Structure 1
Amino acid sequence: MVGDQDSVGALDPLVGYHLRRAFGAFSGDFTAAMEGTGMRQVLVGVLAVVARSPGINQGAVGRVLDIKRANMVSLINELVEAKLLTRETDPQDRRAFALAVTDRGREVLADSLARIEAHEARMLAGFTETERAALLELLRRIERRAGDSA
């Protein structure tokens, strides 16, 4: 039996409280999984989106990942400097840059995704496939709801 000192009281029924705790656990394990790579979640996200849509411009990547325009510039610069992305003037809109993943970027993305898959397997080891699918669907519903109110 859990003692009163371990109880979170009025916080226990609050979804946001448990989401924050779960995020903390996931985030800590993600950081450990990616240690030594120099990669962060946001950088993996940018690489994954560009790999899926070569030639996409950075504004579109930002919209897909919900990253503010001002932040996209430094993220793209970081990936270009690391030689994980190339950036060229978009021939159809000379004000925009077309992005592409380099060979090195594809290697880093593949390694990052393998590490992330192992991380998620650890974190969700006690979940059935049905529970994992249900969790993803519930989280996506929250994301869509947040998008609808923006």
Structure 2
Amino acid sequence: MERPKDQQEAEVSDAALRDFVGYNMKRAFNVMQADLARTLEPFGLRMLTFSALSMIVENPGLRPSQLAEALSVERANVVVYVDQLEEAGWVTRAPSETDRRAYALQCTLAGRQVYEKARAAVRAHDRRMLDGLREVEIAVVKKALMRIEGRG
């Protein structure tokens, strides 16, 4: 009996790459991102739209340029995310009280409601992904990632 094609090929080793922290971070991120996508889909959100909604909920009156900086993304991309959130009825744009050239972003009641549900699901996602790690290990990972980012 012939083996299926995928079993005929030798397994590829990534051992040489596993020496690099960045490679391991990317592989872990891919797993976390895929699970997060499945977690957020029922809410009509993706990782970046959830992040944008979260920032708007927590920082009422935030300007799009501030949101772009906080999320470390291009301003043009933020406009796309805000457009999606606005089309869903979760965010509004109003002229800024301090800068007539800018808009202030506000979360609607519907936006807050979907955010609270999605946030609970994301917390469950985090617990699921970190299952098996002790609290002290999670704290070390968070601290190390923040130091790499230059914030710790």
TM-score scaled by length of structure 2: 0.87
Question: How many residues were matched structurally?
Answer: 142
Please give the secondary structure, in 2, of the residue aligned with 1:34.
helix
Aligned equivalent of 1:114? 120
Contact 2:40 2:47 in 1 (8 A): no
Q: 2:38 aligns with which of 21, 32, 36?
A: 32
C-alpha separation between the residues in 1 aligned to 2:105 and 2:99?
A: 13
Deviation at 1:7, TM superposition (A): 3.9
Unaligned runs of 5+ in 1: 146-150
Aligned equivalent of 1:132? 138
Aligned equivalent of 2:4? none
Aligned equivalent of 1:93? 99
C-alpha separation between the residues in 1 aligned to 2:95 and 2:18?
A: 52
C-alpha separation between the residues in 2 aligned to 1:138 and 1:7?
A: 27
C-alpha separation between the residues in 2 aligned to 1:5 and 1:58?
A: 47
C-alpha separation between the residues in 2 aligned to 1:9 and 1:64?
A: 35
C-alpha separation between the residues in 2 aligned to 1:8 and 1:53?
A: 42
Matched, 1:81 2:87: yes
TM-score scaled by length of structure 1: 0.88
Matched, 1:45 2:45: no
Q: Which has the larger radius of gyration?
A: 2
Deviation at 1:63, TM superposition (A): 0.8
Unaligned runs of 5+ in 2: 1-9
Q: 1:59 aligns with which of 56, 65, 89?
A: 65
